[in-house]
Amino acid sequence: MNQAGTPRGDDVEDIGHLVLVGMGVDAPARDTDLLTLAGAVGARVAYLQVGTPTLDAVLDQLAAADAGARVRLFAAPSAGAAAPARSWLRRVTSDWIRRNPDVLTIDVADRPVHGAEAGLSSPAWEQVPGHRRHVLICRGPRCTARGAAATAAAIDARLRDAGLGEDSVLVAHTGCLYPCNHAPVVVVHPDDQWWGPVSAGDAQTLVDSWAAGPHEGRSRFVQRPAVLRGPPDAPPS
């Protein structure tokens, strides 16, 4: 029996379990439309990033409840921040299938995912960009309500126009950074500067102040937490 209560049979298409996936970082903060749409079409909701339940968790639940079922994933339309490409839905799904082979039959929109597609790692994502500044744009609930999506889009656009890529200014979107009364909040490191409220109209001034400084960053590398535990004890002789 599928989610709509229709018997599975040769003469009836099995539409399976429908899952609407919120794609953008602000999808959880704008979840009213998504939840209403999901309720209207009998779908579950999952989030690709930031929110819960995650796509992984929803697939785990469906696998436990209805092994062998068909699942159809749809990238939910977004009225907010630019969302990652739908290919990310396929990457995350493919990675899940590789860890859980032959458990669910999964389509993203109208194309099946087999588990052989590109996954979650790439040689291009090995190195930390040699950035000079690390900019944190708060996408917590208060900053989102005060226009952080427009602020973020304006900062991105100005960085592009100024030719400042990830090797100069590395931008990250975060949850609440605490001084919500100044929303939308933007933090710049290593300067340890906290700005707010930063409107979309302020983006040009802020970005241009970074463009005036040195662009050269430094090399960084990603460490494993195990280094904090030191070398393993030598076996007793």
**Residues of the shown chain interacting with ligand FES in the complex, contacts defined by CB under 6 A:** 138, 140-143, 176-180, 183, 185
Question: Least Å distance between CB 177 and ligand FES?
Answer: 4
Phi-psi region of 224 (alpha: psi -120 to 50; beta: other; left: phi over 0): beta
CB nearer to ligand FES: pick between 16 and 80: 80
When CB distances to ligand FES are compared, the closest residue is: 140
Q: Is 53 exposed, middle or buried (0-12, 13-18, 19+ CB in 10 A)?
A: middle
Q: Which is nearer to ligand FES, 53 or 141 (CB)?
A: 141
Q: Among residues 66, 68, 73, which one has the least CA distance to residue 90?
A: 73
Nearer to ligand FES, 16 or 184 (CB): 184
Three-class secondary structure of residue 109 per DSSP: coil
Q: Smallest distance from the beta carbon of 148 to ligand FES, in angstroms?
A: 7
Alpha helix positions (H), 184-224? 203-211
Beta-sheet pairing, 133-138 with 105-108: unpaired
User: Do residues 114 and 191 make contact, with C-beta atoms less than 8 angstroms apart?
Assistant: no
Q: Of 38 and 154, which CB lies nearer to ligand FES in the complex structure? A: 154
Residue 97 or 152 having the CB closest to ligand FES: 152
Nearer to ligand FES, 58 or 185 (CB): 185
CB 194 → ligand FES: shortest distance, Å? 10
CB of 150 to ligand FES, least distance (A): 14
Residue 32 CB, nearest distance to ligand FES (Å)? 18
Task: Decide whether 93 or 151 has the Cβ nearer to ligand FES.
Answer: 151
Minimal distance, residue 96 CB to ligand FES, in Å: 31
Cβ of residue 30: shortest distance to ligand FES, in angstroms?
14
CA 104 to chain CA centroid, Å, is 23
d(CA 59, CA 100): 10
CB 124 within 8 A of CB 90: no
Kindly state the tokens that stand for 196. 């707010």
Counting beta carbons within 10 angstroms of the beta carbon of residue 63, is it exposed (0 to 12), middle (13 to 18) or buried (19 or more)?
Answer: middle
